[in-house]
Amino acid sequence: MPALDQRLPPTVFIVDDDESVRRGLARLIKSAGMAVVSFASAQEFVQSYPRDVPGCLLLDIQMPGMSGLELQEQMARYQIDLPVIFLTGHAEVPASVRAMKRGATDFLQKPVDGQVLIETISQAMATNRLAREKGRVVKDIQRRVERLTEREREVMEGVIAGLLNKQIADRLQIAEKTVKVHRRRVMEKLVVKSVAELVRLVTKVGR
């Protein structure tokens, strides 16, 4: 399958080696108004998945070649950031435990109830959307922080720690007037107007 268009809307990606299962799932998902793309193998999915498209992954566990669990293990390596819903025709309790421990959203046994599946997919899609929005916010903050000079970062750390300008000046062995200049630049570059806002912003990127 050729590479898919990166401009796809939020999409449910089905990976199952059974063609009849893929067709049935695709019909059900489309009837709920969701976009869907199907793949016959994990390898095919890895080669064609457009990395920037949000959604969720509906994944069979038992497949020839790379299994669903093996794909889940390798998703970070393949830069695939999608919630995973496992489907299986086998009552494999150990496999389900492994899948859930690795972050699977859910584990459903075939034949799955259509309403249950649609509800599970909807929840997974919402989770992915929120995670991606948070990721965009964090990247934007990181870009702003990267604009700071080394000295500005040192002053920022002092401000976040609750130090007064004089205390920061003593710690860095610079003039208090210089601290005020760097502090103003930090606020301008990070686009914040108060220390409280600065702390909240920087906390989001784990600094």
If one counts the domains in the chain, the total is 2
Whether residue 176 sits in one domain with residue 118:
no
Give, to the nearest 10 degrees, the angle between helix 165-172 and helix 176-190.
110
Q: In this structure, are 101 and 73 located in the same domain? A: yes
Tokens standing for residue 22: 């893929």
Cβ atoms 14, 22 nearer than 8 A: yes
Chain center to CA of 179: 37
Predicted local distance difference test score (pLDDT) of residue 153: 93
Q: List CB contacts of 193: < 8 A, sequence separation 6 or more.
A: 187
Given 136, 160, 194, which residue is the final one in a domain? 136
- 102-106 long-range Cβ contacts below 8 angstroms, 24+ apart: 102/72, 102/73, 103/72, 104/72, 105/56
Distance of CA 132 to the CA centre of its chain: 5
Identify the band that residue 2 occupies on the pLDDT scale cut at 50, 70 and 90.
very low
Range of the domain at 196: 147-203
- Convert the pLDDT of each residue in 68-114 to its tens digit: 888 988 887 888 889 999 887 765 555 655 655 555 667 788 888 89
Let me know if residue 69 belongs to a domain.
yes
Based on the domain organization, do 88 and 173 belong to the same domain? no
Whether the bond between 111 and the residue before it is cis, its omega within 30 degrees of 0, is yes
Mean pLDDT, to the nearest integer, of 52-60? 89
Q: Name 56's bridge partners.
A: 12
- Give me 203's structure tokens: 């906390």
| Whole-number pLDDT of residue 98 | 61
Condensed to tens digits (0 to 9), the pLDDT of residues 107-152 reads 788 888 899 999 999 999 998 888 888 888 888 888 999 999 999 9
Q: Are residues 176 and 93 part of one domain? A: no
In a domain, 87, yes or no: yes
**For 165-205, how does the pLDDT look when each residue is reduced to its tens digit (9 = 90+)?**
999 999 999 999 999 999 999 999 999 999 998 988 888 77
DSSP 192: -
Please determine, for residue 207, whether its predicted confidence score (pLDDT) is greater than 90: no
My answer on whether 67 and 130 are in the same domain is yes
Judged against a pLDDT cut of 60, whether residue 3 lies above it is answered with no
Distance between CA atoms of residues 19 and 88, nearest Å: 14
